[in-house]
Structure 1
Amino acid sequence: MITFTKKYHEPIQEGKITLMFRPWDTLKVLRGKIYRAYNLGLIKVLDVDFKKISDITLEEVKQCGYRDMDEFREDYGKIAKRKVDFETERAVRIEFGYIGEDIENYKKAMGDVKDSEIFTIKEKLLKLEQKGRKQWAIKALMMLRKREYVLPKDMEKPLKMPPEAVKKNMKKLKTLNLIMSNNRMGYSITPLGMKILKSLNKV
């Protein structure tokens, strides 16, 4: 089981932390697999490989939730529970995405839902369309369908929304398990999102 210090739980859940380094001799996790993080929930490994510790960048350190390299090294040493040679040793670099506290959330996002649930989700999506003056929800899903990932800033102009509105509205789609988010790469549509578009004859 993977563990994180409690102070990092909320940033992970919000998608602000999407990277970790571990002092392992072997790759104990596999790309594309889902793992339970202690007292946190489920995470999906997006990429995993070895990397020399001395080659780790400040950008990567910040992606892990640390302020600077010193804080990273201090915490890495605590995780290793031994003296670490930061010049010669290598670490396991794991890029991940937070799924949720429940496997059911993941199953839904992957499209494992009943026809009655499809109908309910579709109704909720159409209500989002009707609430505002702009019909943005289906347009956003169709935009994500065409590309693997879309950054929030690249959605502002097509959706005619300011940054905060994009973030707020994407959160609504995420609640319906129609999209997933990665702090570095942006938003992506889920298989459930694709299934909903198909049911609306938008695919």
Structure 2
Amino acid sequence: MSVDRCDAIAGPASSSCSSGCKSSNGLTCNGRGSCQTADGAAYKCACNTGWSGVHCEVVVDGSCQAGVGSCGAHGKCANGTCQCDEGYSGAQCEVGTTTTQAPLVTSAAPSDQGIGPIPSPSTGLSSSTIIAIVVIILALLAIGIVAFLIVKKKKREREAAELRALINQDDDNDREHVTTPKAAIQVL
């Protein structure tokens, strides 16, 4: 009986048949073997050529069989030996030899003043961070301009109201004074 059929009969919650072949990475036999039974009840890993161990986790040698994935995800089997992809080595191409640039990290240790993190000396700002900062600055500038214009408009309205009040007061005062006849006005 196949391991899948055994699991189906036992129920999806159980998976008792394939549990002996599951690896910590979620692959059956680490992807380097198949789940087999010898007695029809207990299943265990039958490792591909070049691998051994309970879950096919131990490299034995560089031997392989073409077409069964003996050399893992980073190599090809050619004439019974593994030919590793660029950047990988090891008997079964299991060791990555290229280094990748690690992401820049900011230390979370407190500064001398005890406030905030200390940036790493090699920390550079990404373009998205720079864009975000520029957008924030522009938004703050726009808010400042709008606030200035509102204050200026209110001041103009207040001055206009004061001027209207002064004109109205002058009109009231003019009515109390004696008016000058037009004949008494001299043109210079």
Q: Same fold (TM over 0.5)?
A: no
Q: Of Structure 1 and Structure 2, which has the larger fraction of its residues in helix?
A: 1
Q: Of Structure 1 and Structure 2, which has the larger fraction of its residues in strand?
A: 1
Higher relative contact order (CA 8 A, sep 6+): 1
TM-score, normalization by structure 2: 0.16
